[in-house]
């Protein structure tokens, strides 16, 4: 009878041992998975929180679905964080964002606008946080070369642009170019696969098209009701006459930078000629940017001269009948156009969860699937080292190529309205006068330079 | 003796201007009945009466919130301003006291001051007391402004009430409040109702104040919501914006149509600085 | 028009104090309304004037600027132009509306019009529609693919078709016509109110004397509605000088500032480019102009009734 006890006892001990080990392993496992879980959600200690995010990238289709999708995946990753997104039209957004960030209901993450119109005041009034520690933590300096990163830098007094800490980073590569309606080109006897390779060639193409197209139809569509869209189409002309560095120096208030240079005046004169010759029709002042892109998508005009953030809206209408290209280079042989990254994402100084906000920003610009989501909406990622677009989408390939060409040639002029606090409205209005033939190029350039100089005095006085 | 020609041309002229008065509303109503994909031009009449633009606009524009906000503000302002104007009008219209003329002129000054004259400091004042973005920022200033109109209006009405009634009641020993409540209120009630309609309408339709006070807030009013919605949506879908516009106009127009008889009679009853 | 026969009650002058008539208690009735008004309407006006002497972005601290904002205001061609636009708009909001109102009043007093209630209701309706809605409606009407241009083309005047709200010359008149549309109903109601009080005998006497349509209007109606005409002129002129909502929701001051008006500039300067002091100065000048106009017109106003 002893025989049967020993195995049982051993069995019990073994069982106890196994149980003990099992429990030990399990609790160790629980400890480690608890630890990894905590590492997996470093924000869990906040409990249930809401992250308020504001954006002006409201084109849908386009950037907006990308932002929404990434917000959803962010929430899936950090379930205790609910992301509340609010989208506005650009001009409305720029009106309200500064006061909103100063109020009691400031969003946690908000886009700003590079330049002296918006970001300067946000920095000066300490409404947003410097992102130095997060740049280090998330290696954002790897995503933006120094020249590009400069657009996010301000000295803490908000006076000097291009130097100092980084205050925001951006998500999309936004450049301007030519969208062309392939069917329309064929209709008038031109081969869309043989687009001009020089600026002079494109100028000539417009001249050849004008007599063939019915008088009341524009060749190129833009929507300049709010005044700013003309900066984009003008930039395409300006790029044939000026190097991008000239415009960037002017934006950053490098000493001696001028708007009324002979080269720029020549470019303005030619631009004015395009309107006199009727290339743009005459209702461009009655519609705004989004309306114009939508009209082009419905078949109006042959070209849309504007930003690649409209790419998906246009694609939704014209499908495979649309092509995209940069404005071909002028005599310099380099690609130049208005463009930069999209509006920078800032963290409000009042946010209770800046670390969550920073992770959200990182997620938007370089999170999992972010590039894929952008390509699906025909948007270009801003960051260096983003995966290439999937094959089989020539439209996306051309958009990506356009951006890459400009980056390679250092041809992104950035946006001229960044150069002064009132330049957004002032330059827009001046361009409208020029386009309507109510002001000479010479006078217009001098007026713009005058506005720049008045502002220049103010920032150098303080 | 008026000739046939006189009559016909009169009705023709009246008809023409009436048509012009209604046309803009009708045109956006038609636009709202179109589908987004229709190529709407000029006078195109809608082919079907479908309300899907209205439901889409309602949800996308968040108009449930806007309508509620408008209603909350308009109702509060109307109630309070009417009540306070009743009191001030009563005092200035029936009682003689030193400086009454000055007080009246002071209060009527507000009729001249547009919101443009007050909106900037009001925005920052409300921010200082941590009320920015709340509906108080709309209710309180509009009460203040409406009291100007209300005082002007009610005083004029009280001036037309028969003195004899008041004196008789006083001789009977009735106090001022009692006189107001029992003797005079029934007399001025129609005019008070007219005032309520006017204040409600002006408050509902007020835009500048809402734009400034509620910028970036989660609260909104119907006109403000429409402005934002139009800015974002018109390029993609003008039919939805038209539907939204019709919905925003509807409440006041409905109130006006129902009460217009009363409303117009009130205006015509000589409450004009009489 | 049964009211016309009823004599309007004579306004009672508050003179002399009847036995037991209170005076101090009047202040109690006056106070609540007065306080609300002073705190939320009068005091902010004073604050606006005060702000106009500062240089402020609304967020960081204020800096005393003396008359600097006013100097800039009067020296700025943009701001002066905006005031000029407002004056132009008076033509549309006030003059045209008054003309239409007077014309319709003349028609409606010439003989007994059937369906008066209907016409009055319809013609006054534009006053009840929110300005944002009006802006949307007219943006559509003025659209190049909208009813106005379609109408012009259909009557063979296609060459007149324009991009109204984007046209350098015609944007301001286009905006002005919106104001005419809004205002003429108000003018009409006011004038009819006055016309109602004109005793029928005066018309009969004039007709016996052989007065035709025009003469009877000039000799009987016009003098009789004098006060109402002045009130209408005041209200419409003030609306013309303000006019924020329509400009904001149609043209945003464009193209290139051709439809900028002071109230829009004030908003833009205060809340869009953050120059609060300058905006306050614009608001102050605007209010002063409006006050002068209102007081100026009311000087012609008589208390006496016929």
User: Which of A227, A286, A421 has the CB atom closest to C144's CB atom?
Assistant: A286
Cβ partners under 8 Å of residue C73, min gap 6 = C79, C278, C281, C282, C285
Token pair recorded at residue A345 = 């994402």
Q: Which conformational region is residue A319 in: left (phi greater than 0), alpha (psi within -120 to 50 degrees), or beta?
A: left
* DSSP H helical ranges for A178-298: 182-187, 199-212, 229-238, 244-251, 262-276, 289-297
User: Residue B95: its pLDDT value, please?
Assistant: 83
User: Residue B50: its pLDDT value, please?
Assistant: 78
Least confident range from A417-421, B1-5, B214-218, C154-158: namely: B1-5
Closest chain B C-alpha to C106 CA, distance in angstroms: 10
The share of chain A scoring above pLDDT 90, in percent, equals: 70
| C79 Cβ under 8 Å from any chain B Cβ | no
For residue C180, the domain's CATH number is 1.10.3720.10
Cβ pair C252:A91 closer than 8 A:
yes
In this structure, is residue B67 part of a structural domain? yes
* Cβ-based contacts of C60 with chain A (< 8 Å): 124-125
Least confident range from B41-45, B152-156, B264-268, C265-269: namely: B264-268
User: Which of A225, A425, A433 has the CB atom closest to C166's CB atom?
Assistant: A225
Q: Cβ(A235)–Cβ(A176) under 8 Å?
A: yes
CA distances to A191, A271, A304 from A208, rounded to whole Å, are 13, 17, 17
For residue B247, the domain's CATH number is 1.10.3720.10
Rounded Cα distance between B259 and B265, Å, is: 10
Q: Cβ(A131)–Cβ(A345) under 8 Å?
A: no
Best CA proximity match to A162, nearest among A259, A249, A243: A249
User: Residue A349: its pLDDT value, please?
Assistant: 95
Rounded Cα distance between A453 and A444, Å, is: 14
User: Residue A17: its pLDDT value, please?
Assistant: 53
Token pair recorded at residue B64 = 């449930």
Q: Residues C254-294: pLDDT tens digits?
A: 788 899 999 999 999 998 888 999 999 999 999 999 989 88
Q: Residues A393-408: pLDDT tens digits?
A: 899 999 999 998 998 8
* Cβ-based contacts of B130 with chain A (< 8 Å): 104
Rounded Cα distance between A260 and A138, Å, is: 42
Contacting chains of C (3 CB pairs or more, <8 Å) are A, B
Cβ pair C134:B211 closer than 8 A:
no
CA distances to A314, A316, A338, A393, B174 from A378, rounded to whole Å, are 10, 11, 19, 9, 80
The Cβ of residue B84 has, within 10 Å, a number of other Cβ atoms equal to 26
Cβ pair A94:C272 closer than 8 A:
yes
User: Residue A1: its pLDDT value, please?
Assistant: 39
| A249 Cβ under 8 Å from any chain C Cβ | no
Q: Cβ(C214)–Cβ(C111) under 8 Å?
A: no
Q: Which conformational region is residue C20 in: left (phi greater than 0), alpha (psi within -120 to 50 degrees), or beta?
A: left
Mean pLDDT of B251-269: 73
User: Residue B4: its pLDDT value, please?
Assistant: 77
For residue A85, the surrounding DSSP H or E stretch is strand A81-87
Token pair recorded at residue A455 = 């502002």
Rounded Cα distance between B60 and B179, Å, is: 52
Cβ pair A287:B235 closer than 8 A:
yes
User: Residue A135: its pLDDT value, please?
Assistant: 95
Q: Cβ(C199)–Cβ(C3) under 8 Å?
A: no
* Cβ-based contacts of A350 with chain C (< 8 Å): none
Q: Residues C191-250: pLDDT tens digits?
A: 888 888 888 888 888 888 887 778 888 888 888 888 888 888 888 998 899 889 999 999
Contacting chains of A (3 CB pairs or more, <8 Å) are B, C
Best CA proximity match to B128, nearest among A215, C248, A103: A103
DSSP code per residue over A319-376: GGGEEEEPPPP-TT----BSEEESSPEEEBTT-S-HHHHHHHHHHHHH-TTHHHHHHH
User: Residue A8: its pLDDT value, please?
Assistant: 53
In this structure, is residue C197 part of a structural domain? yes
Closest chain B C-alpha to A338 CA, distance in angstroms: 23
Q: Cβ(A150)–Cβ(A388) under 8 Å?
A: no
User: Residue B263: its pLDDT value, please?
Assistant: 64
pTM: 0.83
Question: In which residue are the tokens 């994909």 written?
Answer: B37
CA distances to B89, B106, B148, C26 from C34, rounded to whole Å, are 11, 9, 9, 12
- Residue in chain C closest to B81 (alpha carbons) equals C33
Which of B 39-98 lie inside 8 A of C, CB atoms? 40-43, 80, 84-85, 87-88, 90-98
User: Which of C19, C123, C242 has the CB atom closest to B116's CB atom?
Assistant: C242
Closest chain B C-alpha to C295 CA, distance in angstroms: 9
- Residue in chain A closest to C268 (alpha carbons) equals A95
Inform me whether the pLDDT recorded for B174 exceeds 90: no
* Cβ-based contacts of A88 with chain B (< 8 Å): 228, 232
Inform me whether the pLDDT recorded for A31 exceeds 50: no
pLDDT: is A325 or B175 the higher one? A325
In this structure, is residue B274 part of a structural domain? no
In this structure, is residue C156 part of a structural domain? yes
User: Residue B271: its pLDDT value, please?
Assistant: 36
Least confident range from A20-34, A220-234, B146-160, B198-212: namely: A20-34
Q: What angle do CA C94, C98, C99 make, to 5 degrees?
A: 120
The answer to whether the peptide bond before residue A61 is cis (omega within 30 degrees of 0) is: yes
Q: Residues A258-286: pLDDT tens digits?
A: 999 999 999 999 999 999 999 998 888 87
Q: Residues A370-397: pLDDT tens digits?
A: 999 999 998 999 998 888 888 888 999 9
* Cβ-based contacts of A425 with chain C (< 8 Å): 268, 272-273
**Where is mean pLDDT largest: A122-126, B9-13, B36-40, C2-6?**
A122-126
The Cβ of residue B47 has, within 10 Å, a number of other Cβ atoms equal to 10
User: Which of C59, C144, C251 has the CB atom closest to A102's CB atom?
Assistant: C59
The share of chain A scoring above pLDDT 70, in percent, equals: 91
Inform me whether the pLDDT recorded for B190 exceeds 70: yes
DSSP state of B181: I
pLDDT: is B9 or B226 the higher one? B226
| A59 Cβ under 8 Å from any chain B Cβ | no
Cβ partners under 8 Å of residue B258, min gap 6 = none
User: Residue A24: its pLDDT value, please?
Assistant: 45
| A127 Cβ under 8 Å from any chain B Cβ | no
Averaged pLDDT of chain B: 85
Inform me whether the pLDDT recorded for C300 exceeds 80: no
Residue numbers of the domain that contains C120: 40-298
In this structure, is residue C191 part of a structural domain? yes
Mean pLDDT of C97-106: 91
User: Which of A87, A99, A290 has the CB atom closest to B215's CB atom?
Assistant: A99
* Cβ-based contacts of C272 with chain A (< 8 Å): 94-95, 425
Residue numbers of the domain that contains B135: 54-268
For residue B6, the surrounding DSSP H or E stretch is helix B4-32
Rounded Cα distance between B256 and B250, Å, is: 10
Q: Which domains does chain A have, with CATH numbers?
A: 44-171+342-387 (3.40.190.10), 174-340+397-461 (3.40.190.10)
Token pair recorded at residue B186 = 């029934």
Inform me whether the pLDDT recorded for B270 exceeds 60: no
In this structure, is residue B25 part of a structural domain? no
Rounded Cα distance between C179 and C92, Å, is: 6
Cβ pair B207:C245 closer than 8 A:
yes
User: Residue A460: its pLDDT value, please?
Assistant: 81
User: Residue B216: its pLDDT value, please?
Assistant: 75
Beta strand residue intervals within B19-145, DSSP E: none
Q: Which residues pair with B37 in a beta bridge?
A: none
| A288 Cβ under 8 Å from any chain B Cβ | yes
Inform me whether the pLDDT recorded for A11 exceeds 60: no
In this structure, is residue C201 part of a structural domain? yes
Number of structural domains found in chain C:
1
Rounded Cα distance between A230 and C229, Å, is: 47
User: Residue A12: its pLDDT value, please?
Assistant: 55
User: Residue C207: its pLDDT value, please?
Assistant: 82
Q: Is B256 exposed, middle or buried (0-12, 13-18, 19+ CB in 10 A)?
A: buried
DSSP state of A175: E
Q: What are phi and psi of B167, to 5 degrees?
A: -65, -40
Averaged pLDDT of chain A: 88
User: Residue A2: its pLDDT value, please?
Assistant: 41
Q: Cβ(A308)–Cβ(A178) under 8 Å?
A: no
The ipTM (two decimal places) reads 0.87
| A332 Cβ under 8 Å from any chain B Cβ | no
Q: Cβ(C86)–Cβ(C282) under 8 Å?
A: no
In this structure, is residue B2 part of a structural domain? no
Closest chain B C-alpha to A89 CA, distance in angstroms: 5
Cβ pair A105:B235 closer than 8 A:
no
User: Residue B169: its pLDDT value, please?
Assistant: 84
Cβ pair C190:B272 closer than 8 A:
yes
CA distances to A251, B44, C165, C170, C208 from C151, rounded to whole Å, are 47, 11, 17, 17, 45
Instruction: Look at residue A220 and give its three-state secondary structure.
Output: strand
Instruction: Look at residue B135 and give its three-state secondary structure.
Output: coil
- Residue in chain C closest to B145 (alpha carbons) equals C41
Token pair recorded at residue A398 = 């051309």
Rounded Cα distance between A96 and A118, Å, is: 10
Inform me whether the pLDDT recorded for B209 exceeds 60: yes
Cβ partners under 8 Å of residue A278, min gap 6 = A210, A215, A218, A219
- Residue in chain C closest to A425 (alpha carbons) equals C256
User: Residue C4: its pLDDT value, please?
Assistant: 45
How many Cβ pairs closer than 8 A exist between chain B and C?
A: 331
In this structure, is residue B1 part of a structural domain? no
Rounded Cα distance between C167 and C172, Å, is: 9
Number of structural domains found in chain B:
1
pLDDT: is B237 or A72 the higher one? A72
DSSP code per residue over A130-143: --HHHHHHHTGGGT
Q: Residues B119-147: pLDDT tens digits?
A: 999 999 998 898 988 999 999 999 999 99
Mean pLDDT of B61-84: 94
The Cβ of residue C208 has, within 10 Å, a number of other Cβ atoms equal to 8
pLDDT: is C143 or C9 the higher one? C143
Mean pLDDT of A228-250: 94
Rounded Cα distance between B46 and B40, Å, is: 9
How does residue C18 score in pLDDT terms, banded at 50, 70 and 90? low
Which of C 260-289 lie inside 8 A of B, CB atoms? 262-263, 266-267, 270-271, 276, 279-280, 283-284, 286-287
Rounded Cα distance between B127 and B212, Å, is: 12
Q: What are phi and psi of A305, to 5 degrees?
A: -100, 100
In this structure, is residue C123 part of a structural domain? yes
User: Residue B274: its pLDDT value, please?
Assistant: 34
The Cβ of residue C214 has, within 10 Å, a number of other Cβ atoms equal to 9
Q: Cβ(A249)–Cβ(A257) under 8 Å?
A: yes
Top residue of A52, A103, A226 to mutate, by most chain B CBs within 10 Å, is A103
Least confident range from A344-348, C22-26, C64-68, C177-181: namely: C22-26
């Amino acid at each position: 009878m002893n025989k049967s006890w020993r195995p049982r006892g051993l069995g019990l001990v073994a069982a106890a041992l196994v149980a003990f080990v099992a429990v030990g392993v399990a609790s160790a496992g629980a400890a480690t998975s608890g630890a990894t879980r905590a590492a997996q959600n470093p924000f869990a200690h906040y409990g249930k929180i809401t992250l308020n995010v504001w954006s002006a990238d409201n084109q849908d289709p386009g950037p907006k679905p990308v932002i929404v999708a990434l917000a959803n995946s962010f929430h899936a990753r950090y379930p205790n964080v609910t992301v509340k997104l609010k989208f506005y039209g650009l001009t409305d957004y720029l009106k309200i964002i500064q006061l909103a960030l100063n109020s009691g209901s400031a969003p946690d993450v908000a886009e700003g606008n590079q330049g002296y119109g918006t970001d300067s005041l946000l920095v000066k009034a300490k409404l947003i946080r410097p992102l130095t520690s997060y740049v280090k933590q998330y290696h954002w300096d790897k995503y933006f070369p120094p020249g590009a990163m400069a657009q996010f830098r301000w000295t803490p007094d908000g006076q000097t642009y291009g130097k100092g800490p980084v205050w925001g980073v951006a998500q999309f590569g936004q450049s301007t170019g030519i969208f062309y309606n392939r069917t329309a080109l064929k209709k008038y006897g031109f081969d869309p696969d043989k687009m001009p390779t020089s600026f002079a060639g494109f100028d000539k193409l417009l001249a050849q098209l004008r007599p063939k197209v019915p008088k009341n139809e524009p060749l190129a569509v833009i929507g300049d009701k709010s005044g700013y869209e003309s900066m984009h189409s003008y930039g395409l002309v300006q790029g044939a006459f000026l190097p991008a560095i000239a415009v960037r120096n002017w934006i950053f208030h490098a000493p001696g930078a001028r708007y009324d240079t002979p080269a720029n005046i020549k470019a303005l004169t030619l631009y004015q000629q395009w309107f006199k010759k009727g290339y743009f029709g005459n209702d461009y002042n009655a519609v705004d940017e989004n309306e114009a892109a939508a009209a082009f998508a419905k078949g109006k005009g042959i070209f849309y001269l504007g930003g690649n953030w409209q790419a998906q809206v246009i694609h939704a209408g014209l499908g495979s009948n649309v092509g995209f290209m940069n404005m071909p280079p002028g005599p310099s042989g380099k690609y130049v156009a208005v463009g930069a990254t999209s509006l920078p994402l800032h963290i409000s100084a009042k946010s209770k969860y800046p670390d969550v906000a920073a992770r959200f920003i990182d997620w938007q610009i370089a999170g999992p699937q972010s590039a894929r989501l952008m390509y699906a909406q025909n948007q270009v990622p801003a960051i260096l080292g983003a995966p290439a677009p999937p094959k089989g989408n020539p439209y996306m390939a051309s958009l990506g190529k356009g951006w890459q060409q400009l980056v390679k040639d250092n041809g992104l002029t950035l946006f001229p309205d960044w150069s002064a606090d009132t330049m957004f409205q002032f330059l827009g209005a001046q361009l409208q006068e020029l386009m309507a033939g109510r002001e000479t190029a010479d006078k217009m350039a001098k007026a713009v330079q005058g506005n720049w100089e008045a502002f220049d005095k103010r920032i150098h006085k303080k | 003796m008026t000739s046939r020609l006189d009559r016909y041309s009169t009705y023709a002229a009246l008809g023409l201007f009436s048509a012009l008065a209604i046309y803009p509303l009708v045109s956006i109503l038609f636009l709202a009945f179109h589908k987004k994909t229709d190529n709407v031009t000029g006078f195109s009449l809608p082919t079907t009466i479908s309300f899907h633009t209205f439901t889409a606009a309602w949800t996308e524009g968040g108009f449930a919130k806007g309508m509620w906000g408008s209603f909350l503000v308009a109702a509060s302002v109307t109630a309070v301003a009417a009540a306070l104007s009743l009191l001030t009008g009563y005092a200035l219209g029936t009682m003689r006291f030193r400086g009454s003329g000055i007080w009246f002129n002071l209060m009527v000054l507000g009729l001249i001051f547009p919101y443009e004259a007050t909106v900037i400091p009001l925005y920052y004042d409300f921010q200082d007391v941590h009320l920015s973005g709340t509906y108080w920022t709309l209710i309180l200033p509009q009460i203040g402004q409406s009291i100007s109109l209300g005082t002007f209006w009610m005083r004029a009405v009280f001036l037309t009430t028969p003195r004899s009634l008041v004196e008789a009641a006083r001789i009977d020993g009735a106090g001022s409040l009692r006189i107001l409540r029992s003797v005079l209120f029934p007399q001025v009630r129609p005019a008070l109702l007219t005032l309520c309609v006017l204040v409600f309408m002006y408050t509902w339709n007020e835009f500048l104040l809402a734009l400034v006070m509620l910028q970036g807030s989660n609260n909104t009013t119907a006109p403000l919501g429409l402005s934002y919605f139009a800015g974002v949506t018109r390029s993609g879908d003008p039919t939805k914006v038209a539907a939204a516009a019709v919905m925003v106009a509807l409440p006041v127009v409905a109130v006006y149509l129902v009460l217009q008889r009363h409303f117009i009679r009130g205006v015509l009853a000589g409450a004009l600085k009489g | 028009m049964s009211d016309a026969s009823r004599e309007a009650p004579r306004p009672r002058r508050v003179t002399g104090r009847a036995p037991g008539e209170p005076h101090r208690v009047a202040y109690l009735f006056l106070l609540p309304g007065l306080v609300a008004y002073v705190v939320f309407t009068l005091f902010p006006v004073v604050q606006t004037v005060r702000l106009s002497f500062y240089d402020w972005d609304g967020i960081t601290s204020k800096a005393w600027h003396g008359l600097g904002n006013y100097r800039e205001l009067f020296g700025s061609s943009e701001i002066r132009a905006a005031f000029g636009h407002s004056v132009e708009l008076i033509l549309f909001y006030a003059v045209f509306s008054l003309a239409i109102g007077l014309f319709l009043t003349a028609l409606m007093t010439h003989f007994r019009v059937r369906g008066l209630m209907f016409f009055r209701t319809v013609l006054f309706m534009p006053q009840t529609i929110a300005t944002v809605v009006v802006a949307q409606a007219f943006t559509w009407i003025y659209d190049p693919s909208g009813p106005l241009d379609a109408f012009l083309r259909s009557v063979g005047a296609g060459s007149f078709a324009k991009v109204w709200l984007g046209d350098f010359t015609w944007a301001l008149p286009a905006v002005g016509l919106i104001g005419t549309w809004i205002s003429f109903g108000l003018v009409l109601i006011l004038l009819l109110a006055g016309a109602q009080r004109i005793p029928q005998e005066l018309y009969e006497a004039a007709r016996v004397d052989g007065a035709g349509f025009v003469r009877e209007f000039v000799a009987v109606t016009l003098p009789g509605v004098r006060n109402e005409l002045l009130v209408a002129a005041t209200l419409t002129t003030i609306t013309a000088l303000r006019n924020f909502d329509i400009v904001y929701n149609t043209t945003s001051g464009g193209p290139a500032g051709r439809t900028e008006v002071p109230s829009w500039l004030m908003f833009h300067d205060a809340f869009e480019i953050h120059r609060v002091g300058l905006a306050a100065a614009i608001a102050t000048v605007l209010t002063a102009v409006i006050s002068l106009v209102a007081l100026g017109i009311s000087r012609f106003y008589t208390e006496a009734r016929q």
